[in-house]
Amino acid sequence: MILSDRDIVQALESGRIKITPQPDLERSLGSCSIDFRLGNTFMVFEHSRFSYIDPRQPQSIGDAMRTITVPDGEAFIMQAGDFALASTLESLELPDDLLGRLEGRSSIARLGITVHSTAAVFEPGWVGTATMELSNLGRMAVALYPGMRICSFTFEQLTSPAMVPYRKKRGNKYAGQIDPKPSRLAEEIAMALEEEK
């Protein structure tokens, strides 16, 4: 069951869903979703310095990315074919019986920008900002401004609370993040290899 606008407002008022800073509901609330804004921090691959990424080597991933902070009022320019990680301005905290689903906004998609590649589900018990995988699929560069509405969240009710919400899950790699984080796939692989021993 997807929460309606009425249900989202009730969940915000009761504290079941926490969004910080508090959203302007007049501008951000849809019929069954709420818009989140683009943060100031971006991570980009330095493909001119590194020829490939090895997911088994954590330094391969971290070293290959550079963090850029864009001041308010200035633009982050997504060139055609570019990929970047970015975070939402708002932080989200979910209860143990709701999941969040991040969706790109149609107005942004019509410029050629995809907001997430595959990571759309935010598990029950999520806490932190959302990292988005931005791509420019178009042929023209697009200016993205911190503070612009970039994505929306819908919320779905689980049939019962999760036994192990995300924030309590062993090996939760991204809980509590406040800036975009690079892939932590290497940690997952290392943990699996350690368990095999």
In tens digits, the chain (197 residues) has pLDDT values of 999 999 999 999 999 999 999 999 999 999 999 999 999 999 988 776 767 777 777 666 667 788 999 999 999 999 999 999 999 999 999 999 999 999 999 999 999 999 987 778 899 999 999 999 999 999 999 999 999 999 999 999 999 998 987 777 776 656 666 666 655 555 655 555 566 66
CB distance 154 to 101 below 8 Å: yes
Tally of structural domains, the chain: 1
Q: Which domain holds residue 77?
A: 5-196
Token pair listed for 37: 């804004």
187 is catalytic: no
Of residues 133, 187, 188, 194, which has the active-site annotation? 133
- Backbone CA torsion sign across 104, 95, 182, 88: positive
Binding residues for dCTP: 105-110, 166, 173, 177
Q: Give the domain CATH number at 44.
A: 2.70.40.10
- Tell me what pLDDT residue 45 has: 83
pTM of the predicted model, to two decimals?
A: 0.85
